[in-house]
Amino acid sequence: MGSIPKVAIVYVVDPYHEDAIAKLQSQRNLTVILPGDPRIKSYHTDATHILVRSETTIGEADILKARNLKAIIKQGVGVDNIDLQAARRHGVIVCNTPGINSESVAELTLALALSIARRVCEIDRRVRNGEKVIRSKTLGHSLFRKTIGVIGMGNIGRVVAKKWVGAMEGKVIAYDPYAPDSAWDDMKDVQRTAQLGELLQQADLVSLHVPLTEQTQGLIRKEEFAMMKSNAILINCARGGIVDEEALLDALREGRILGAGLDAMDVEPPSLEKYGNTLLDHPGVIMTPHIGASTIENQSRSGIAAVDILCKLLRGEEVESRLT
């Protein structure tokens, strides 16, 4: 590999793992501005490259102000916090780090599903409140050999499906109208459907793994909840906005589904002010503040991957995850 040919001014506008920072600072010909430095707020002045996560939104106004900006590298898969069309119009490269978060997001998906099915968080709260929990009157649901419906046949959905078969010996039904016909051909335990309704009617667990787009906005609404089993669990470890939250609340209150695990909501991070009298008031709901990728191991891997992409760009090499 060649060396970085000239000086670049790199702003790390969101927190990155120390391993990624160490690798970045080891590169020659880079000026690196880290989180906590007061200059971060004025990155528009001279940034040539930006390393970002989900905390910072970069819109067209930011891109127009940052006249020296050449590239934005996003740690993680989702790029809905970056105006891709504006970046494309103004010649700014945008890259992400797909595939690296898959294991950690899949782990959280199963953790939420099992916690809801076995009423772990609900029972824990009752014990902490001093209630005597009678076991015979506090039965959960087994997920062993049950059916998972995976919506979105990308990297994360694939790992979720594999873990489900391995851990639960369960059936997998998958829906993704945009995935190629050959997607998941090597996974013999997967039934693919072209109809979302078919998946919803069969699944004991419905797990969302799609980006937020015009096509997926409000994908799960009142009509979709009406198709689901009364003991079904919905998991959203993807993006807020995919689920109609008012319809979800109605479905929960009316007993049309068993519960929901939400790592992605309309309002993030979730708060008592927003959800205290609605979704958080239901015992079958678990909310986490978009922590699917938040393991020590994954933050190190994905941060280093973002730095590697930056270095490739600076050396003039091709990057597979380039989006603009």
Choose the catalytic residue: 17, 119, 239, 256. 239
Burial grade of 3 (CB within 10 A; 0-12, 13-18, 19 or more):
exposed
Architecture of the domain delimited by 8-100+296-314: 3-Layer(aba) Sandwich (3.40)
- DSSP per residue, 27-58: STTEEEE-TT-GGGGGGGGT-SEEEE-SS--B
28 is catalytic: no
CATH number of 102-287: 3.40.50.720
268 is catalytic: yes
Choose the catalytic residue: 198, 268, 282, 322. 268
Whether 315 and 79 have beta carbons less than 8 Å apart is answered as no
| pLDDT at residue 18 tops 70 | yes
> Quick one: tokens of 117?
């099915």
Residue 5 — very low, low, confident or very high, per pLDDT cuts 50/70/90? low
User: How many CB atoms sit inside 10 A of residue 92's CB?
Assistant: 21
Nearest-CA neighbor of 217 among 285, 174, 266, 148?
A: 266
DSSP state of 68: T
Distance CA 24, CA 311 (A): 9
Choose the catalytic residue: 53, 119, 209, 290. 290
Distance CA 153, CA 162 (A): 12
Average pLDDT over residues 225-242: 97
- Where in the chain are the domains? 8-100+296-314, 102-287
pLDDT digits (tens, 9 = 90+) for 52-85: 998 999 999 999 999 999 999 999 888 989 999 9
141 is catalytic: no
Distance CA 289, CA 265 (A): 8
> Quick one: tokens of 318?
């091709």
Classified as helix, coil or strand, 295 is coil
- Domains 8-100+296-314 and 102-287 are alike in CATH topology: yes
Average pLDDT over residues 232-245: 97
pLDDT digits (tens, 9 = 90+) for 138-197: 999 999 999 999 999 999 999 999 999 999 999 999 999 999 999 999 998 899 999 999
Distance CA 207, CA 277 (A): 25
